[in-house]
Amino acid sequence: MKHGVSRWLPLIVLLGVAGCGSQAQQSPGASLLTPTITPVFLLPAPLANPAGGPGRAASSATPSALAVAPGVTVTSAVPILMYHQIKDLPANASADDLTWTVSPKSLDAQLGFLAENGYATISLDQLLDGLAGRATLPPKAVVLTFDDGWKTQYINALPLLKQRKQTATFYVVSSYIGYSAYFSWAMVQEIQESGMTIAGHTVDHASLTGLSLAQVERELRDSKTALEQKLGLTVAHFAYPNGAYNDAVVEAVKHAGYRSATTINPLSVKNPVSPYLLPRLRVSYQATLADFAKKLP
């Protein structure tokens, strides 16, 4: 199995893990049901030659390979935390809901922990600039991401982020906007104006590895265009629905004009890494604050 970045080695295949699991029951249309997919769990290869990678001269790094910035060592890691629904669950909640939900109280505690322990929330643009050596990253940087455009994020996460002056990226499914469980356009606008990043997550949450190239290109292009035209912004970042990608999908994301893409592979970002295979750490409903703290470097 090849992923186009020689220093990344596919190691373990996780079976039966579906990103955004609760999506299947709550999508606005029955046709949006998403099959269980098999994300590939990647671990970085040894980083002895981080500037160029094995067998590759530093000067010939591909566009997908970030240079190592001065002062950023292979021991520095920037966690990208991944959230979906932010709401309270009943005692009999399903395993699926527990996987893809965090309570408002827990999120509040987690954001408070970050603030009190010197973690600075940064945008994906800042992360990429920092990893490429064009900007200085804070010593303890963390990226917060929220997937799918759930209305519970607007109601329960946005006020907490604003209160602490923290920033986050919201991956929005363009055709979901306006449905009752999801953001309205006005909410997306307000989130963006609150200093958050609005990013792409396809038109209808399609698992891109199951589509033709033309369909993949349409999902990437039409969702980006819809957000950009309605909001007057540039959509530069993308998350693979259900964490599903392969070489062709990664190439299509690059060609569609996105600057980065996140997976659901559970690792911290270490140099060097492809900006189109950024790993993320999921926070679950049952995670204690101690569990949360252990995810952080």
Q: Which residues bind Zn ion (CB under 5 A)?
A: 20, 147-148, 241
With respect to Zn ion, which residue has the nearer C-beta, 69 or 216?
216
Q: Which two tokens stand for residue 6?
A: 């020689």
Is the separation of the CB atoms in 182 and 28 below 8 Å? Answer: yes
Distance CA(141)–CA(78), nearest Å, equals: 6
End-to-end CA distance of the chain: 30
With respect to Zn ion, which residue has the nearer C-beta, 240 or 292?
240
What minimum distance in Å lies between the beta carbon of 99 and Zn ion?
A: 13
With respect to Zn ion, which residue has the nearer C-beta, 65 or 81?
81
What minimum distance in Å lies between the beta carbon of 40 and Zn ion?
A: 17
With respect to Zn ion, which residue has the nearer C-beta, 108 or 147?
147
With respect to Zn ion, which residue has the nearer C-beta, 53 or 243?
243
What minimum distance in Å lies between the beta carbon of 236 and Zn ion?
A: 18
Distance CA(281)–CA(260), nearest Å, equals: 16
What minimum distance in Å lies between the beta carbon of 185 and Zn ion?
A: 19
Is the separation of the CB atoms in 173 and 204 below 8 Å? Answer: yes
Phi and psi at residue 231, in whole multiples of 5°?
-105, -15
Distance CA(250)–CA(277), nearest Å, equals: 8
What minimum distance in Å lies between the beta carbon of 133 and Zn ion?
A: 31
**In the bound complex, which residue of the shown chain has the CB atom lying closest to Zn ion?**
20
**Secondary structure of residue 252 in the 3-state scheme:** helix
Q: Which two tokens stand for residue 168?
A: 């986050």
User: Cβ of 207: how many Cβ atoms within 10 Å?
Assistant: 22
Q: Are strands 40-44 and 77-78 parallel, antiparallel or unpaired?
A: unpaired
For the four alpha carbons of 7, 10, 12 and 17, in that order, the dihedral sign comes to positive
DSSP letter (8 states) at residue 266: -
With respect to Zn ion, which residue has the nearer C-beta, 52 or 243?
243
With respect to Zn ion, which residue has the nearer C-beta, 252 or 264?
264
What minimum distance in Å lies between the beta carbon of 237 and Zn ion?
A: 14
What minimum distance in Å lies between the beta carbon of 205 and Zn ion?
A: 6
